[in-house]
Amino acid sequence: MDPILIIVGVAVVVLILGVVLVVVARSRSRSRRAALRSQFGDEYDRVVEEYGTRDGERELRARLKRRRALEVRELDGGERDRFGQAWETAQSSFVENPSTGLRDADLLVQQVMRERGYPVEQFSERAKMISVDHPDLVERYRSAHRVSTDVEDGSAGTEDMRQAMVDQRYVFDALLAGGDAARTRRM
């Protein structure tokens, strides 16, 4: 057999294997991307826009990994009742003094997160974990937090505080109910 034909044959086989590997790798990448989009919804787009596709997807996979490492638990009936009553108090306080009621609601969401086993020290970490379990609510959580911060410096209006209180209520209800995002989707 001619050595040139053997070399050409081997090159063709290597080229075909390379094309097959590229197609398989792209297919896996599309599958992982689709899974992340499904898991995170609009948060996927926000993170990819902020970090770029590769780094954004890496960030979202890191969030999933951190969340799996947490031992988040369900609340028992007594705890849910106690937190529910505390919410009613915060809501009543909001009627009389919106900034105080909103502050109490924000603290109550943090308390529920702490009880369940989420990290609560830094807002950014809380938001990341909310984005894993309740991706449909994370933007509401961020918005409510921004308004709470604006309240401290006196730049939040009453309507902003009202909307922040509604947003906090969505997050609070989802955290109180526990479970996964599919059980608490509202949008």
The answer to whether 176 and 112 are in contact (CB under 8 A) is: yes
The Cα 92–Cα 88 span in angstroms is: 6
State what percent of residues in the chain have pLDDT above 90.
Answer: 65
Tell me: the pLDDT tens digits for 23-50? 777 767 667 788 899 889 899 999 999 9
Residue 75 has pLDDT above 50, yes or no: yes
More confident residue, 17 or 88: 88
182 confidence band (pLDDT: 50, 70, 90)? very low
Classified as helix, coil or strand, 117 is coil
List CB contacts of 105: < 8 A, sequence separation 6 or more.
Answer: 87, 90, 91, 94, 144, 165, 168, 169, 172
Residue 97 has pLDDT above 80, yes or no: yes
The Cα 136–Cα 8 span in angstroms is: 55
More confident residue, 33 or 81: 81
pTM for the whole structure: 0.76
18 confidence band (pLDDT: 50, 70, 90)? confident
Give pLDDT, residue 149: 87
